[in-house]
Structure 1
Amino acid sequence: MSALPDSRYVSLTTFRRSGVAVPTPVWAAPDGGDLVVWTRADSGKVKRLRHTSRVTVAPCDVRGNLQGEAVEAQARLLPPGEWQPALAALARRYGWQWRITYGAGRLVGILRRRERRALIRISPA
């Protein structure tokens, strides 16, 4: 089993129904042997994950320029009951940047009266 990348940003590649790969640079925090990713619930990556759990992850910079080899993995959307450990992992990894970003996202969700966040758990294939 290949280890998942342990970099500040990872390129999360999801796949369209046609098989076309769509890479996106994201924050990812290690949580045990997995990675956790926080994103908008209406993002394209979430929509693509609803029909296929196959993903690849590779270390990258903030702009998505790859800095290593991609690793095959499986991803799943976490139900809200499983969010606490994932949120804690992200808070440990990104510190004050996480608190500001997450806090702003929660405020927008409260003002719009709907949940706009999703958490993804990525496990080695």
Structure 2
Amino acid sequence: MTSDQDPLAVLGRSPYVSLTTFRRNGTGVATPVWAASDGAELYVWTKADSWKVKRIRNDGRVVVTACDARGRVSDGAPSAEGTARLLGADGLRKARGLLARKYTWQFWLTDVPAAIVRLGKRPHVGIAISLRHPSRPA
């Protein structure tokens, strides 16, 4: 499998990914997010009280698909199943650093004003996603 076919490499380069998390009844809920890859995982940064965080606490199963800013998925877009885990403070710093490096000024334009407005009242959490690699054809 070449790096161009590796789901982590492809999804890590995508400007946005649709992160599908699952309700208790098994219904998937997709949300477009920024994601950056490092090593064998994708990293996402979100508000700690978001519904996706609550769903991940209940069920770490996720599906990640390349999408546009509105979450629209094109036919044939790369997609992979995986497992998400919530990160502590060190993991959050790592996720923010990776996202800041990938999205540069866009990240800072979003992060700094939001931090000023919320005055620490809505903390964020990092999410690490380990993707399952599809089996190679025989």
Please give the TM-score of this superposition, normalised by the length of structure 1.
0.89
What's 1:121 paired with? 128
Alpha carbons 2:47, 2:122 under 8 Å: kept: no
What's 1:94 paired with? 103
- Distance in 1 separating the partners of 2:112 and 2:130: 27
- For residue 11 of structure 1, the aligned residue among 18, 22, 39 is 18
Mapping of 1:68-83 within 5 angstroms? 68-83=77-92
Aligned residues: 123
- Distance in 1 separating the partners of 2:50 and 2:43: 16
Give aligned-pair identity as a percent. Answer: 47
Amino acid at match of 1:81: D
Q: Which has the larger radius of gyration?
A: 2
Superposition CA RMSD, Å: 1.7
- Distance in 1 separating the partners of 2:59 and 2:117: 29
For structure 1, the 5+ residue unaligned runs are none
Mapping of 1:8-87 within 5 angstroms? 8-67=15-74, 68-87=77-96
More deviation, 15-24/27-36: 27-36
For structure 2, the 5+ residue unaligned runs are 133-138
SS at 1:35 equivalent? strand
- Distance in 2 separating the partners of 1:32 and 1:106: 28
SS at 1:24 equivalent? strand
Q: Deviations over 1:26-69 (max 9, x none)?
A: 11111222111111111110110110100000100111111313
What's 2:112 paired with? 103
